[in-house]
């Protein structure tokens, strides 16, 4: 009798666990075998539609990362061994790092600075919601009032952008030059992480980019805020990957031969002896000494997820910084399609180019607003926060039927995937005054 009850209990508990596991893993398994291969195919077909537009100005387009962390930050272990191959994979030309300072007296430059296998790295700092690249040798005193830090850096030729636009900032400050209009970290904040972790367990190897994409939400309130600021004054919009390569589980040897386990944010979670029963877990140490790695966010996936495209003269800090301040920048979800070649510009009544994205143009120098794009999609023209025109023509042109109105005009491009239009590209506005 007891045997029978035990047998019954055993089968019902195992059955229950099996069903629970199936329910938990079913969506991820479905994605793995049905949804993601389908997306992959659609994206590959979309790439085939690529047509390189002729260059319209003398400026070159450089792909860049404007918010990322390296080993200098307390919550990252990233070194050039991780960062440079990831940049190469994603076609990144420059990385403006934003490492958290190690104290309130912050001496720059520090960490990486210069060209590494052709990738330009400029060190910067992230603290109290500010991203800064002072560009010159500087000591930032983070003890003093934040608005004064902003004023000091900007008046000495440096850059201050606001990070994490979902958080409170002094938007009335007259010195800061730009804000994040997309940040991967911001986007993940509203997600319940458990289903995503299961998705990464199943799809993290082969389809990590789609697993990351699963968290995407259009940042409508942030975009609305950006539009409202641009009515008053130029505010450069850019995207941030905020990559730390730290949402991972990793292990490495300590000097005494034990293993140290690191969890999220590069925090040590445990140390253990290597024994016959756990030895199989650990591989030969890689360049950074890791013997075990299970990754959710990697530089490689982040850098390729969303990318800034900056129009500049040369790949030098001076030229990039100069054009960055001017807002000669658009940003696009690169894993869906590379946007290099895109251009948004205004033409005057003599049919010559009077300005490009980020520029302020006198009203009598504007007859049409135009876009060329290497990939097809839907163009949305947004004037001071209001969509005024939508078109899916091959190349975009807008002319006013009534007298031209002043204000900030920006372009969004949406592409068709999963049977619907999804945001792909955001351009800085042309300011008509």
Contact between 180 and Zn ion by CB under 5 A: the answer reads: no
Contact 290, 252 (CB under 8 A): yes
Could you tell me where the beta strands, DSSP code E, fall in 301-377? 307-312, 329-332, 343-347, 353-356, 360-361, 368-372
Taking the complex as a whole, the smallest distance from the CB of residue 95 to Zn ion amounts, in Å, to: 13
Kindly tell me which of 106 and 126 has the beta carbon lying closer to Zn ion: 126
Kindly tell me which of 52 and 167 has the beta carbon lying closer to Zn ion: 167
Kindly tell me which of 77 and 126 has the beta carbon lying closer to Zn ion: 126
| Closest residue to bound Zn ion by CB | 242
Stretch near Zn ion under the rule CB under 5 A, chosen from 118-126, 270-278, 315-323, 361-369: 118-126
Taking the complex as a whole, the smallest distance from the CB of residue 159 to Zn ion amounts, in Å, to: 15
Contact 157, 135 (CB under 8 A): yes
Taking the complex as a whole, the smallest distance from the CB of residue 98 to Zn ion amounts, in Å, to: 6
Q: What is the C-alpha separation between 396 and 388, in angstroms, rounded? A: 13
Kindly tell me which of 241 and 413 has the beta carbon lying closer to Zn ion: 241
**Which residues, in sequence order, are CB contacts of 61 under 8 Å at separation 6+?**
309, 310, 311, 340, 341
Contact 112, 80 (CB under 8 A): yes
Kindly tell me which of 163 and 381 has the beta carbon lying closer to Zn ion: 163
- Other beta carbons less than 10 A from residue 30's beta carbon: 12
Taking the complex as a whole, the smallest distance from the CB of residue 276 to Zn ion amounts, in Å, to: 41
Helix/strand/coil for 96: strand
Stretch near Zn ion under the rule CB under 5 A, chosen from 192-200, 239-247, 253-261, 282-290: 239-247
Q: What is the C-alpha separation between 246 and 253, in angstroms, rounded? A: 18
**Beta-strand pair 368-372/236-240:** unpaired
Residue 307 half-sphere exposure toward CB, CA atoms < 13 A: 28
Q: What is the C-alpha separation between 133 and 158, in angstroms, rounded? A: 6
Taking the complex as a whole, the smallest distance from the CB of residue 92 to Zn ion amounts, in Å, to: 17
Taking the complex as a whole, the smallest distance from the CB of residue 10 to Zn ion amounts, in Å, to: 50
Kindly tell me which of 77 and 242 has the beta carbon lying closer to Zn ion: 242
Quickly list H helices, 239-365.
Answer: 299-305, 317-326
Count of residues touching Zn ion (by CB under 5 A)? 2
Stretch near Zn ion under the rule CB under 5 A, chosen from 192-200, 208-216, 234-242, 327-335: 234-242
Structure tokens at 79: 């070194």
Backbone dihedral region of 46: left (phi > 0), alpha (psi from -120 to 50 degrees) or beta?
Answer: alpha
Taking the complex as a whole, the smallest distance from the CB of residue 183 to Zn ion amounts, in Å, to: 8
Taking the complex as a whole, the smallest distance from the CB of residue 302 to Zn ion amounts, in Å, to: 11
Taking the complex as a whole, the smallest distance from the CB of residue 126 to Zn ion amounts, in Å, to: 5
In the region spanning residues 404 to 423, those forming contacts with Zn ion, defined by CB under 5 A, are none
Taking the complex as a whole, the smallest distance from the CB of residue 131 to Zn ion amounts, in Å, to: 8
Contact between 99 and Zn ion by CB under 5 A: the answer reads: no
Stretch near Zn ion under the rule CB under 5 A, chosen from 53-61, 80-88, 237-245, 387-395: 237-245
Stretch near Zn ion under the rule CB under 5 A, chosen from 50-58, 74-82, 241-249, 341-349: 241-249
In degrees, rounded to 5, the angle at the alpha carbon of residue 204 between the alpha carbons of residues 333 and 420 is 40
Q: What is the C-alpha separation between 84 and 299, in angstroms, rounded? A: 9
**Which residues, in sequence order, are CB contacts of 8 under 8 Å at separation 6+?**
none
Structure tokens at 139: 């000591």
Contact between 245 and Zn ion by CB under 5 A: the answer reads: no
Kindly tell me which of 124 and 429 has the beta carbon lying closer to Zn ion: 124
**Which residues, in sequence order, are CB contacts of 109 under 8 Å at separation 6+?**
123, 137
Contact 167, 183 (CB under 8 A): no
Helix pair 193-203, 2-30: axis angle to 10 deg: 80
Contact between 82 and Zn ion by CB under 5 A: the answer reads: no
Stretch near Zn ion under the rule CB under 5 A, chosen from 134-142, 242-250, 296-304, 348-356: 242-250
Q: Site mask, Zn ion, residues 120-139, x = CB under 5 A?
A: ------x-------------
User: Sign of dihedral through CA atoms 304, 310, 311, 315?
Assistant: negative
In the region spanning residues 303 to 342, those forming contacts with Zn ion, defined by CB under 5 A, are none
Taking the complex as a whole, the smallest distance from the CB of residue 299 to Zn ion amounts, in Å, to: 13
Binding Zn ion by CB under 5 A: which of 242, 245, 297, 412?
Answer: 242
DSSP bridge partners of 386: 383
Kindly tell me which of 126 and 338 has the beta carbon lying closer to Zn ion: 126
Q: Rule CB under 5 A: which residues touch Zn ion?
A: 126, 242
């Amino acid at each position: 009798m007891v045997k029978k009850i035990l047998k019954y209990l055993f089968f019902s508990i195992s059955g229950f666990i099996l069903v629970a596991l199936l329910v938990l893993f079913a969506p991820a398994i479905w994605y793995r075998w049905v949804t993601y291969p389908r997306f992959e195919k659609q994206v590959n077909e979309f790439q085939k539609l690529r047509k390189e537009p002729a260059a319209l100005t003398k400026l070159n387009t450089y792909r860049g990362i404007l918010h990322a962390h390296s080993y200098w930050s307390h919550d990252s272990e990233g070194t050039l061994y991780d960062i440079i191959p990831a940049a190469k994979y994603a076609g990144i030309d420059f990385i403006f790092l934003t490492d958290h300072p190690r104290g309130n007296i912050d001496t720059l430059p520090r960490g990486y600075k210069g060209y590494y296998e052709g990738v330009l790295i400029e060190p910067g700092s992230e603290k109290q919601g500010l991203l800064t690249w002072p560009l010159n040798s500087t000591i930032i005193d983070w003890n003093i009032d934040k608005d004064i830090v902003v004023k000091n850096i900007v008046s000495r030729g440096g850059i201050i952008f606001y990070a994490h636009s979902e958080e409170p900032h002094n938007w009335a400050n007259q010195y800061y030059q730009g804000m994040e209009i997309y940040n991967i970290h911001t986007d993940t904040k509203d997600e319940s992480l458990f289903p995503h972790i299961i998705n990464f367990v199943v799809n993290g190897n082969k389809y990590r980019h789609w697993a990351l994409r699963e968290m995407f939400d259009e940042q409508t309130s942030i975009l609305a805020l950006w539009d409202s600021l641009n009515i008053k004054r130029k505010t450069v919009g850019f995207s941030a990957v905020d990559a730390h390569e730290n949402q991972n589980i990793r292990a490495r040897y300590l000097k005494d031969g034990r293993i140290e386990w690191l969890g999220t944010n590069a925090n040590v979670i445990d140390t253990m002896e290597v024994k016959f029963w756990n030895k199989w877990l650990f591989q030969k140490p890689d360049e950074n000494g890791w013997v075990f790695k299970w990754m959710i966010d990697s530089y490689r996936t982040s850098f390729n997820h969303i990318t800034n495209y900056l129009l500049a003269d040369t790949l030098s800090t001076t030229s990039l910084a100069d054009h960055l301040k001017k807002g000669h920048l658009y940003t696009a979800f690169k894993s869906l399609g590379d946007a290099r070649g895109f251009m948004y510009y205004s033409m005057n009544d003599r049919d010559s180019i009077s300005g490009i994205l980020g520029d302020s143009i006198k009203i009598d120098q504007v007859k049409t607003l135009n876009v060329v794009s290497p990939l097809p999609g839907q163009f949305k023209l947004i004037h001071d926060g209001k969509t005024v025109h939508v078109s899916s023509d091959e190349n975009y042109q807008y002319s006013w039927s009534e007298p031209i109105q002043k204000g900030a005009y920006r372009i969004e491009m949406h592409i068709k995937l999963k049977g619907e239009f999804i945001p792909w590209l955001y351009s800085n506005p042309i300011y008509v005054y």
